[in-house]
Structure 1
Amino acid sequence: MTAQRSALDKNRWHFNHGPIDIVAEAYGDPYAVAAAHDAAWARFVHVLDELVHELPLLRLPASDNMRPRGVVARRMWNACAAFSPMFVTPMAAVAGSVAQELIAFYDRPGVDRAWINNGGDIALHLAPGQSARVGVYADLARFDWRSHVDGESSILTTDGQFEIKADQPVRGVATSGWRGRSFSLGIADSVTVLAATAAEADAAATVIANAVDVDDAAIHRRPANECKDDSDLGDIPVTVDVPPLAPSQVKSALDTGAVCAKVLQKGGLVWAALLVCQGQWRLVEPLCSKPLSAAPSAAVGSVFA
């Protein structure tokens, strides 16, 4: 298994190595953008091997007695340790931490804006005066991949969009939920978090999505290690199916998640968050004076969370 890359167009590259699947996109001076892509690729080819080397430690709850050595692994550990005593292992921040590692290579003269999209967990570079639009697809159950292949559809209709500006303290966007590629303890269809870094956003989205929950025997949960034998969650029950719930139950779950998000926000770990579950939603707005700028929902965003 070796790292591979392919050019998608003049601004975008696809990087892949095992479970890591990234789209790197940048705009600005063509030579500066090309140099940034090459530098990011040179770093990318080593990331997976470094993480695999420390994987047993990264699957354990963050502990002062056992700190990883690698740069990306330490970033994962630091991002998740901030949420103690909540149970979360460094693996909760792996996608965001990898994206954050690569985006650093785009912080150079001539690159106006760039983003690393690691499966929906996004790290941003925005030069002064620049901005990026982020499109949110809140419920994967509604996504029909057949309508977006072989040129049948060129537009992915998002559930909402917002604009991130360079003067806002946001350089990371991440989404978590029980329908996603990682396990969740809660029932949120999606929780999208904006934070100072991609690693922090990734960990926070996991924690908040876990908090969006309610007791109902109809919710199907299984031990994580029965769903994936090497899961870092061990025998902790994770959500595998959520039937239609009473609106009052959904409201209660979202209210609990929103409280969690606001606590993390006051602690400086979250800038804003959008929580979605079965057609209901909660928006935890920024505490600062510069609110989110919403883009028309019919427009196509620059990057998708």
Structure 2
Amino acid sequence: MDGPAHQVLADGRLHLQHGPIDLVLRAYGAEAAVDEAHRAAFARFATILGELVAELPELRKPISERPRVEGAVARRMVAACRPHRAFITPMAAVAGAVADEILDAMGEAAPLDKAFVNDGGDIALYLTEGETLSVGVAADFSRGPVPAMNGRVTLRHRDGIGGIATSGRQGRSFSLGLADSVTVLARNAAAADAAATLIANAVDLPGHPGVERVAATDLDPDSDLGERLVTVAVPALSDHEIEAALEAGRRRATAMRAAGLIRSAALMLQGRSVVLDDTHILEDTSLFEKTREIRP
């Protein structure tokens, strides 16, 4: 495997890549501080993959089996998954935990106005007073396999949100549910990542004869999901079926917010969406503008 690589993009963002980990990040502030933060990001990034590989056997265990880990990123993964009662392994939070770790390394290296680390759509962010960050999210798969821009969320320092994550069957990982996408706002990216996975799993119609599922190990022998059935195809659903599946996910998200685990969530299935605390399903795909209006 090639070693860690970095590239400064034309707009000032930094691209870091090592094996399966692929990050895009940026620091904002004084030039010297930005340079120092980017150097710190790469220095920390260079060590992460090796740390995770060394602990994979524990990280693939269900959280109910109390995985024993030592590395900083692995501990973030376990901490994000521990509060949840449903089946989950620390791997559900890996992308968010990596983003959180790199963001912390940047903040410890230099004083910054704001910063973000994007790990494949799971984003850790830091904002000082008066700063904002707008994030466009591609989550609408209703018009084909290439997602359309589904909306935009603009976050401010006072929102207290440090992480955004998206999960679903159209994403990089396997899903037990039907959701095209579920995007979660939380206190950090690892927490958002774990929650998005579980909410996406909950958007489901158990026993639906048209939904195609296969054992995760049939697709990836090393999957942390083992022989659990993951969704590989979903037929066109009726309005009633879409509403029922989204409502199941909304209930899971509402319980998480009541427990203080997330701040908000937006769920998408076959061109229709539901936003946490919004009891009706929207025909349009404006859920992130709707999310901005809902504050815990």
User: Map of 1:1-305 to 2, 5 A cutoff?
Assistant: 1=1, 2-9=3-10, 11-63=12-64, 65-84=66-85, 86-107=86-107, 110-140=111-141, 142=143, 158-215=149-206, 216-284=208-276, 294=289
Measured in 2, the distance between the counterparts of 1:140 and 1:181 equals: 14
**Matched positions, count:** 279
128-137 or 198-207, which deviates more: 128-137
CA drift at 1:113: 1.3
Where 1:87 maps in the other structure, the secondary structure is coil
Amino acid at match of 2:289: A
Q: Tell me, which stretches of 5 or more residues in structure 1 are unaligned?
A: 146-155, 287-291, 296-305
Kept after mapping to 1: 8 A contact 2:181/2:200 = yes
Going from structure 1 to structure 2, the CA distance change for 1:293 and 1:159 (only over 3 Å counts) comes to closer
Measured in 2, the distance between the counterparts of 1:140 and 1:56 equals: 34
Task: Find runs of 4+ consecutive structure 1 residues off by over 6 angstroms.
Answer: none
Amino acid at match of 1:92: A
Where 2:224 maps in the other structure, the secondary structure is coil
Measured in 1, the distance between the counterparts of 2:200 and 2:23 equals: 23
Partner of 2:294: none
55-64 or 120-129, which deviates more: 55-64
Going from structure 1 to structure 2, the CA distance change for 1:211 and 1:63 (only over 3 Å counts) comes to closer
Going from structure 1 to structure 2, the CA distance change for 1:279 and 1:8 (only over 3 Å counts) comes to same
Where 2:159 maps in the other structure, the secondary structure is coil
Amino acid at match of 2:102: L
Structure number with higher relative contact order (C-alpha < 8 Å, ≥ 6 residues apart): 1
36-45 or 276-285, which deviates more: 276-285
Give me the TM-score of the superposition, normalised by structure 2.
Answer: 0.89
Give me the TM-score of the superposition, normalised by structure 1.
Answer: 0.87
Going from structure 1 to structure 2, the CA distance change for 1:25 and 1:65 (only over 3 Å counts) comes to closer
Measured in 2, the distance between the counterparts of 1:191 and 1:124 equals: 19
Kept after mapping to 2: 8 A contact 1:273/1:285 = no
Amino acid at match of 2:54: H
Q: Deviations over 1:99-152 (max 9, x none)?
A: 00001133265421111000000000111111111112113464676xxxxxxx
Kept after mapping to 2: 8 A contact 1:186/1:210 = yes
Amino acid at match of 2:241: Q
Aligned identity (percent) is 47
Amino acid at match of 2:165: A
Kept after mapping to 2: 8 A contact 1:164/1:293 = no
Going from structure 1 to structure 2, the CA distance change for 1:67 and 1:244 (only over 3 Å counts) comes to same
Kept after mapping to 2: 8 A contact 1:106/1:125 = no
Going from structure 1 to structure 2, the CA distance change for 1:37 and 1:142 (only over 3 Å counts) comes to farther
**How much is the aligned-residue C-alpha RMSD, in angstroms?**
2.0
Going from structure 1 to structure 2, the CA distance change for 1:293 and 1:183 (only over 3 Å counts) comes to closer
Measured in 2, the distance between the counterparts of 1:87 and 1:189 equals: 20
Q: Deviations over 1:135-192 (max 9, x none)?
A: 12113464676xxxxxxxxxx9621111110111200000000011001000000000
Measured in 2, the distance between the counterparts of 1:97 and 1:243 equals: 34
Amino acid at match of 2:262: V
